[in-house]
Amino acid sequence: MHSALRRSLLAAALVFSWTLPATADTYPNKPITLVVTQGPGSGSDIMARLLAGYLSPALGQSVVVENRAGASGILGHQSVSRAAPDGYTLLFTSTAGLFVVPVMNPNARYSLADYTPVAPVMRAPFAVLVANTPTAPKTLAELLAAVRAKPQNFASAGVGTMTHLGTELVLRRAGLQATHVPYKGSGAALTDLMGGQVLFATDSLTAAMAHIKSGRLRALATTDRAREGSLPDVPTLAEAGLPGLQIAAIGGIFAPKGTPKDVVDRISAAMTKVLSNPEVIQRFAAVETDPLQVSVPAFNELLRKEEEVWSPLVRQLGLKQE
């Protein structure tokens, strides 16, 4: 073969090899970035850093958490949707970021369809809460009767948060309405709830458990499928009279759309190993969060069902964020 032709063929082969997508055989061969859409010290940041610490040895490469906060998480979500689909830029996000913010804010310009679900991570349940006082409702039925009898207020961590939308779901299922009082975060909302400024709230067990254990808040019902191990005497919504209603924040790891399946499978297998680690399970339990140990196809189906709940609810409520 002519030497010039050989050189041309070799150059073409090298170019072709450089453009090949990552595969499970070669992935990962450089550090991986795990994007978090909230700032350092936030719940998502703490969870992501926990995962990264165990995921790095499972993949054999460094997993570096990068905080891309701003615009209610839009900046971080957009940066990953636009990244190369090679498995080296991943996103840790959950229900509100995927299904609430894009509907509330026309500037978001992203949706679940822009990502490949890679690994389920967590499921964080909520509780319907009242102040633990002699005059406060003792059961969910009593709370709903109080709301039915006269106008009442409920607190949330802010407009469009899961704490806001969770209460709206409960009220709608019961055929009731109450006045929403948004706060800047769960801390302020629960403080006013304990002080009696509002009648009730729906908030995460992560935020509320210390106050429940101290006796300042009373949980009337938990919002997942089964009773919580940390609150064995508190009924679920179904047991308390609202069957068929489950409320939990679902979180996972996502990659840009088009990421090769073998790379997705490699990360998913590593995360399955991480979530089965007793130390990780214990760390999750300490913040009242359950590892979401399901297959990726089951995770995809769960996400589809979650989208059918939250996105229409935001539209029905007419929530907007400029």
φ/ψ (deg, to 5) at 248: -155, 150
Give the global pTM: 0.87
> Is 10 in a helix, a strand, or coil?
helix
Is residue 163 a contact partner of residue 96, using CB atoms and an 8 Å limit? no
Chain position carrying tokens 């969770």: 166
Percentage of the chain surpassing pLDDT 90? 86
CA distance 152 to 160: 19
Class of the domain covering 125-222: alpha beta
Amino acid 20: pLDDT: 47
Q: What is the CA radius of gyration of the chain?
A: 23
State the average pLDDT over residues 102-131. Answer: 95
Summarize pLDDT for 34-86 with one digit per residue, the tens: 999 999 988 899 999 999 999 999 999 999 999 999 888 999 999 999 999 99
Which residue type, as a one-letter code, is found at position 174?
A
Encoded tokens for 301: 């189906």
Provide CATH 3.40.190.10 ranges for the chain.
125-222
Amino acid 71: pLDDT: 87
Amino acid 17: pLDDT: 45
Amino acid 145: pLDDT: 98
Beta-ladder partners of 93? 252
Superfamily of domain 30-123+249-317 in the CATH hierarchy: Bordetella uptake gene, domain 1 (3.40.190.150)
* Residues near 183 by beta carbon (within 8 Å), at least 6 away in sequence: 155, 156, 157, 158, 189, 192
State the average pLDDT over residues 172-183. Answer: 96
Label residue 7 by pLDDT band (50, 70, 90): low
